[in-house]
Amino acid sequence: MSASSMSNQVDPISLVITQFQALHSELRLEVLNRDDESLNWTPCPGANSVAAIVTHTLGSEAETLRAVAGVPGNRNRDAEFRMGSQSQADLLDQIRQANFLLDDLAPTLTGDRGLTPTALPTLSSDDRRPGLTWLIGNLGHAREHMGHLRLTVQLYDATHNAQF
């Protein structure tokens, strides 16, 4: 492979970062288009609200970004599901904080960090994978939750005859 063709290759970590930025924009739009009642509604016992989905998705993302960047974190995964009622402003602030964290850590998420075997703090320390594997996996996790969020919104609208 020639040097010129190598310079035309896109850095996979940069692509993942761009996708996280797009996810944040989508989350922001979803939250902006809902009122506090609909953000905290659950379709049935044991299900999660839009607010809980946003909080959990961003908590998981932050844990993964910090771990891959080699920055300590203090995630409490279980608490993400027990936040109680959260306002639209609370959720928008969480999304802003996620954007700030992504901007802060992006320069440290180099190709070397993408290849470095890493463990996530909420999983077994024996489960070490290349950082890029964790980033891609977390992006997939976030996209699954985005679908979950949109289904929850549809169910709310269907059961409340909402016109958002």
- The answer to whether 30 and 95 have CB atoms below 8 angstroms apart is no
Of 1, 114, 139, nearest to 58 (Cα)? 139
Q: Give the pLDDT confidence of 120-150 residue by residue, as tens digits.
A: 998 889 999 999 999 999 999 999 999 999 9
Q: Give the pLDDT confidence of 44-69 residue by residue, as tens digits.
A: 999 999 999 999 999 999 999 999 99
Q: Give the pLDDT confidence of 80-119 residue by residue, as tens digits.
A: 888 789 999 999 999 999 999 999 999 999 889 999 999 9
What residues contact 52, with CB distance under 8 A and at least 6 apart?
A: 80, 81, 83
Domains of the chain by residue range: 17-160
CATH 3.50.50.60 describes domain 17-160: no
